[in-house]
Amino acid sequence: MSEYRCEVLIMSEHEIPRDHPRYESLKTREDIIKGMHQKVVAEAGLIAHGRGEAFDYILGEKSPRFALQQERFAIITLLLAKHPVISVNGNVAVLCPREIVQLSEILDAPLEINLFYRKPGRERAIEKILKEAGAKSVLGTDPSMQDIIPEISHLRRIVDSRGIAISDCVFVPLEDGDRTLALRKMGKDVVTVDLNPLSRTSLASTVSITNNIIRAVKEMITFTGNLKGKERLVLLEEKKNYDNRQLLQIALEFMSSRLQTLAKEKETFNLI
Ligand code: PTJ
C-alpha cells in the first residue's frame, strides 16, 4: 500500500497520527466534528471553528501580550460584578469543558447554556458534557425557569431567570453580535473571546479577548488566582485604565505586522 493511501485510510477513520506536525489542530478539528455528530456543536459551529483557525494562524497560535492584558481586564470585570454568568454554547463545550467549569467555580459564576441554533436534544447533550467535566449545576435547561430578553428577536432571547436575566456581567465566548449588542443595551457588561478583532461581538463588548478560547480560558484561570484576593478598590482603580478599543487596535496592528514580517522572511517559504 502506498504511503499516501495509508495516510488517507488513517485519516478517514478519524485517527490523527501522533507525529503529524499539525496534530493538536487536527485533533481539535476532529473533536468539533464529533461534537456535531453528538448534537453538541451546531453545523454552523464547524464554519465558525474554521474562521477561528485562520485567525489563530495569523496570531502564530500563541497568546500575544495584548491578549494577556485583555484577559486580565476580563477577570477584573467579572470579579467586580455582583452576578457574573458564563454563557456556554456548543463550540465552547467541546473546546474547553473542564476549564470553563473550573473558571465558573473559582469566579463563583454560574454556567448557563444559551444557544443560537436551538434544536431538540442539544441543550441536554451540552449539559451532559459539562456535568462530566465536573459541573455541579448548569442553568438554561429548565423550561420552567425561562425568561425572555425582549431586545433580541431570535431564539437566543430565551435565558434563565436565575442567570443571564439577572446578571450584570455576562461572559459570552464565541458569540453572535446581535446578542452582545442587546446585552449591552440592557446595561450589562459583556466579556467575550473572539479571534476576530473586527467581529461585531468584539466591537460591541466591554472587554474583548482576541485569542483562542483554548488558551484564553486556561490563562483566565491563572489570572483569577492572582486577582481574587485583591481589594475591590484596587481592582476598580485598575479597571479605570482599560480601553477596549485601544487593545483591539493593538490586536489588528499585531496581526498585520506579523503578516508583513512573515512575507519578508525567507524561512516562511522553506517548508521543503
Ligand atoms: O452552539 P450555538 O448554537 O450557540 O452556535 C455557536 C456558533 C459559534 C455557531 C454561533 O455563536 C455563531 O454562529 O457564531 P459566529 O457568528 O460564527 O461567531 C463565532 C466567532 O468565534 C467568529 O468570529 C470566530 O472567528 C470565533 N472563533 C471560532 N473559533 C474560535 C473563535 N474565537 C476564539 N477561539 C476559538 N477557538
Could you report the per-residue pLDDT of 246-258, keeping only the tens digit for each? 999 999 999 999 9
Count of CA atoms in the C-beta half-sphere (13 A) of 15: 7
**Residue 148 or residue 10, greater confidence:** 148
Share of the chain above pLDDT 70, in %: 95
Q: pTM (2 decimals)?
A: 0.94
* Binding site membership of 197 for ligand 1 (Cβ less than 6 Å): no
Confidence of residue 14 (pLDDT cuts 50, 70, 90): low
- Mean pLDDT score, 235-243: 95
| pLDDT the model gives residue 204 | 97
Distance CA 42, CA 50 (A): 13
| 212 pocket-lining for ligand 1 (C-beta < 6 Å) | yes
When pLDDT is averaged across residues 222-238 and rounded to a whole number, the result is 97
d(CA 243, CA 246): 5
- CA-proximal residue: ligand 1, atom 16 (nearest): 176
Which residue has the CA at smallest separation from atom 8 of ligand 1?
A: 45
95-141 pLDDT, tens digit per residue, is 999 999 999 999 999 999 999 998 889 999 999 999 999 999 999 99
| The predicted structure's pLDDT at residue 249 | 98
Of ligand 1's listed atoms, the one at least distance from the Cα of 41 is 1
What is the rounded CA–CA span in Å between residue 139 and residue 113?
A: 6
The whole-angstrom separation of Cα 216 and Cα 67 is 8
CB of 216 within 8 A of CB of 63?
yes
Compute, in angstroms, the gap from residue 202 CA to the centroid of ligand 1. 11
Residue 11 pLDDT exceeds 80? no
| Cβ neighbours, 10 Å, residue 125 | 17
